[in-house]
Amino acid sequence: MFLYNLTLQRASGITHAVHGNFSGSRSQELVVSRGRSLELLRPDPNTGKVHTILTADIFGIVRSLMSFRLTGGSKDYIVVGSDSGRIAILEYNGSKNQFDRIHLETFGKSGCRRIVPGQYLAIDPKGRAVMIGAVEKQKLVYILNRDGQARLTISSPLEAHKSNTLVYHVVGVDVGFENPLFACLEIDYEESDMDPSGEAVHRTQQTLTFYELDLGLNHVVRKYHEPLEEHANFLIAVPGGNDGPSGVLVCSENYITYKNLGDQPDIRCPIPRRRNDLDDPERGMIFICSATHKTRTMFFFLAQTEQGDIFKITLETDEDVVTEIKLKYFDTVPPAVALCVLKTGFLFVASEFGNHYLYQIAHLGDDDDEPEFSSIMPLEEGDTFFYGPRNLLNLVLVDELDSLSPIMAAQIADLANEDSVQVYATCGRGPRSSLRVLRHGLEVAEMAVSELPGNPTAVWTVKRRAEEQYDAYIIVSFPNATLVLSIGETVEEVTDSGFLGTTPTLACSQLGEDALVQIYPDGIRHIRADRRVNEWKAPGKKTIVRCAVNHRQVVIALTGGEIVYFEMDPSGQLNEYTERKEMKSDVICMGVGRVAAGEQRCRFLAVGLADNTVRIISLDPNDCLTVLGMQALPALAESLSILEMGGGEGAGEGDQPQQHQHSTLYLNIGLQNGALLRTVLDSVTGDMSDTRSRYLGPKPVKLFRISMQGSEAVLAMSSRSWLSYYYQNRFHLTPLSYESLAYASGFSSEQCPEGIVAISENTLRILALEKLGAAFNQVSHPLEYTPRKFVIHSETNHLAMIETDHNCYTEDTKRQRKLQMAEELREAAGEEEAEVAEKMAEALLSENLPDAVFGSPKAGPGMWASVLRLLEPIQGNTLHLHRFEQNEAAFSICLVKFINHSDPEQPFLLVGTAKDYILSPRHVEKGYLYVYRFVKEGSSLELVHRTEVEDIPTAICPFGGRVLVGVGKLLRIYDLGKKKLLRKCENKHIPNLIVDIKSRGERVIVSDVQESVFYVRYKRHENQLIIFMDDTNQRCITTSVLLDYDTIASADKFGNIAVIRMGSDVSDNVDEDPTGNKALWDRGLLNGASQKADVIANFHVGETVNSLEKATLIPGGSDSLVYTTLSGTIGVLVPFTSREDHELFMNLEMHMRSEHPPLCGRDHLSFRSYFFPVKNVIDGDLCEQFNLVEATKQRSIAEDLDKTPSELSKTLEDIRTKYAF
């Protein structure tokens, strides 16, 4: 079996984020790392919407990311520390829309190792040097400079190693133009390593060490180090030189301290705590990330605590000596891995889990009533300040970036009866969790909907003048009239536009510089800017049946197949070409492209005829109206559209999108049988080649040309609407998640610069598509705790879900704890303060901070909260909610039918819970198995009974009318009894802990937490479970799925997917032992079973896979193996159906590895073989980068494979559309 890996939805969790000006056009941008890929985001300064400009796979793990700018430079570079053992410096190339690698310096082994640098990066604020550090021992400094051509140069590395030292954080200190200085948080473990008594560990202190790069002597020295009182977790560099006092802020547990070299005394301030916090009082508070903002006159820091509260930190100075630190509560946002304050006044929050946010900083928090805390306020040692969290005051949310990370569980089903499947994914952590329903399609934002006086047939938008940015009129055609609406603040009907209102319209357009043209059945109406109207009437009894029009040309077809061509002359007059062209059969549709910049005309006209052909007709004056080419079609053409696609992206707001240097002319053909064809049109000869087709739906396909991100795109309408567009260097054809439309046109106004105006029955709708490039749109339903697993009740399509959180209170305990704290307040107060205390107690009890905004209180280790929820997934209504008591945690859930029950078809819901579970060292008081039955037609649950077991029931699986339960490391069969479940059989030979059970027939496949899979046979006569086969490799399995009776696909927590199969020589009939004491399966091989499984396929995904499912993603498609990961990736492994395909892709992958190696220097083959050598899986993500390689390389690769480049990219597209999208 050979598999092909495809990513459908890229990872959406962010691990690092930096901001800067990467395109060099004075716009503020963000570069984020999503684990295995880098993404360039550009927030629109006017609307605040975040646009993804570029995504680049690096086939490696990004460990650290920084941006820097050389002194006096105008653009920022990106420096990446990855697992390649190399430092990579990248520059964004706007014309090609790609990251160019400027430098790649090797310094160590590949992989994430303790002593190989890459984990930490620090930049000198003036861009003169970069330090790259390892977790232990090694630190290297590279000097950055320019050569004579102003290109970036990098020196050889200078060492700043110190053995037996662990590093926690590294930062570049701002010292102006003095020698670059780096500050490190380090701890020396040599003494504690040598000490057998274990006392030295408690004496070891963390140190703050400064390393100076002497630019004169070209080496690095340890300049100064001092021990720290508290354990610190990160450093913030304070602006220096002319901008501030320099030095660092050391963020440690409960305190923030300012330190600097020289005479500066340490200034320290406690981190304030929330008033009336329900957190465990012993728990310390730390800052987790920060952002610095500096202008010419001032600077401040925003630092976020682990509860999500942001503090604004400012420093008071007296002649460059810091005298006090001031902290002020700013606002609360979700806990983040990175905060970025942009110069345009935005704050970007890259959340640890869940969606990412872009806020506008509305106020700097200087003039509100919030108390300001200072380091000079007198406090007892160990005391701190208190503040009350509140809703957003200084920040305004402007955009939200959907993130699925982490996907805890996912299933694929069509519960909404939409013919195409939905992906049901439970995402998130704690109170911000959600159930996301994903559908394949682009999300459509509805800007406006208005009713019309009848059912219109068509709609267009036109500008008044060519140079205007926005459209002026919407023209709506009815069967017997035409309505003209003007676009302004509102949309209103106008009568003085010059359009003829008493007739239906066939087409209209803006013509020349400032004229308009309306084509109606009886003629053509040319409306000049001064409202003079020129008319051309159709001859005799003929009428115009079809037409095509652009800014300079009008082509019409009269009844009987006669084509008349008009072109605009320099004076702005429409002139008819002397000859007319008679076609052999009736004209069904026509299409003409738009006039390219600097051209007089579009050279080609496409005509679809009733004889199932499309003909390309020249409009060049030299051979006007001669047929250049013809293509036969499988069905009648319904509509045609010629447009330019591909090439570079529009460069963005600043400079008008330069029309791509090497974009290609395409002819799109919509057929009456519901297929869409895309053909390449040779821009010189008009030849048609390289036709691709997709089936869109049962209705005829109508095509409309619209504009998306400065490029042309096609809206294709069949039974549902599809958008064909070119985005981030590849073609996308995606359905719109919206009701079916009848006719559409591009729309541009101030409120909606790139929209669509469409008609559906008797309504006019203005729509916008914002999330281009996304494979799925999502509907989100909030949950209470982290969702762990769910099952689908097939008769009602409801979901039964367990949600469990550690370190968390249940609602009851939270209430009791509040009452207890209020009581303590009253008791602690003396007689005078009784009234104040009473008020405070009442305020505490009435305070209701939603956990979804402010985070749930941390209860301490060993505290669990859990619920069982029955959910209707389409509307997201909770039908039934059962709360387990404090410290009882649900871990497994399953639907089971019991054969010995009076109704063997009645499904029971089994839930496995643990009581008083302590994670480390692992200890469980006891476990329970709850049995529920569905009542009220599946909309509620009723407890039948619960059974006590001695360990956690981690996995439950139905098995021939009974149930298999993994209780800790015991595999058991239970049956339904009157008062509890009855134990029937057990096997004690699974080594550690059962995490997953799958069964088919008499065969059971059990996954162990670290020893891979065990194949078990149940022998009914002896009532025994016998292990007859296991795997030779250790795998820490997270999930598995049966592919067939002998084959299982499993995923482990290190990001590998393996397919394991029972060999043909293995027998599961293991009772050939004549002595009767089953010595055969006791004897074993390598301390395991006597027979070993074959590994069919191995592949390293690079992110922990949490769910695997064998499913069909598109109607009429084939089965594929769908996986979802902790980072929010959704991908598929699809089988090759022919040996030729497999060999072609194997050779293509080999060429791509050598011709287009990954950006950050990781070897692709070794990345995909991180833990086990990659076997029988081809990486489609790498193969699809073939389209990004320059044309000469594409040709040489294609020649080696005996193909043309277009054939290869067609093959790549075909394998994707055959199984997925």
For residue 670, give Cα distances in angstroms to 563, 608, 629, 691: 21, 10, 18, 13
Would you give the distance in Å from CA 12 to the centre of its chain? 3
**C-beta separation of 1126 from 405 below 8 A:** yes
Contacts of 1154 (CB under 8 A, 6+ apart): none
Q: In what order do the strands lie in the sheet with 587-592?
A: 587-592, 604-609, 613-618, 627-632
Contacts of 368 (CB under 8 A, 6+ apart): 393, 394
Give the separation between CA 475 and CA 468, rounded to whole angstroms.
18
Q: What single string gives the DSSP state of each residue in 723-762?
A: EEEEETTEEEEEEBSS---SEEEEE--SS-SSEEEEEETT
Contacts of 297 (CB under 8 A, 6+ apart): none
CB atoms within 10 A of CB 677: 21
* Residues found in the chain: 1221
For residue 390, give Cα distances in angstroms to 154, 331, 413, 432: 48, 7, 41, 17
Instruction: Supply 702's token pair.
Output: 């109508």
pLDDT number for residue 752: 86
pLDDT number for residue 1057: 98
pLDDT number for residue 279: 87
**C-beta separation of 1101 from 1056 below 8 A:** yes
pLDDT number for residue 342: 96
pLDDT number for residue 1072: 41
What does the radius of gyration of the chain's CA atoms come to, in whole angstroms?
Answer: 34
Q: Which contiguous run of DSSP H or E holds residue 18?
A: strand 16-20
**C-beta separation of 605 from 592 below 8 A:** yes
Give the separation between CA 522 and CA 220, rounded to whole angstroms.
85
Give the separation between CA 690 and CA 1203, rounded to whole angstroms.
13
Partners of 3 in beta bridges: 1135, 1177
Contacts of 971 (CB under 8 A, 6+ apart): 964, 965, 986, 987, 990, 994, 997, 1004, 1006, 1016, 1025
Q: In what order do the strands lie in the sheet with 372-374?
A: 287-294, 299-305, 309-318, 321-332, 372-374
- Grouping H, G, I as helix, E, B as strand and the rest as coil, residue 219 is strand
pLDDT number for residue 42: 95
Q: Which contiguous run of DSSP H or E holds residue 1149?
A: helix 1139-1155
Q: What single string gives the DSSP state of each residue in 758-783?
A: EEETTEEEEEEE--TT-SEEEEEEE-
Q: Which residues of the chain have pLDDT under 70?
A: 647-662, 1070-1087
CA angle (206, 209, 210) in 5-degree steps: 165
pTM of the complete model: 0.93
CB crowding 67-102: b at 16 or more within 10 Å, else e: bbbbeeeebbbbbbbbbbbbbbbbbbebebbbbebb
DSSP letter at 815 equals: H
pLDDT number for residue 653: 34
